[in-house]
Amino acid sequence: MFFISSAQAQTTAAAGDPGLMSSLIMFGGLFIFMYLFIIRPQRKRQKEHTNLLSNLSKGDEVTMTSGILGKVTKIEGDYLVLEVNDKLELKFQKNAVHAVLPKGTIKAI
Say yes or no: 69 and 49 in one domain: no
Q: Is the domain of 48 the same as that of 61? A: no
Q: How far is CA 48 from CA 25, 27, 53, 54, 78, in A?
A: 33, 30, 9, 10, 17
Same domain, residue pair 10 and 51: yes
Q: List the domain range (segments joined by +) for residue 62.
A: 57-108
Q: Please indicate, yes or no, whether residues 26 and 70 belong to a single structural domain of this protein.
A: no
Q: Examine the domain organization and report whether 65 and 100 are in the same domain.
A: yes
> pLDDT at position 17, please?
56
**pLDDT tens string 54-84:** 999 999 999 999 999 999 999 999 999 999 9
Count of domains for the chain: 2
Q: Are 44 and 70 part of one and the same domain?
A: no
Please state the pTM of the whole predicted model: 0.70
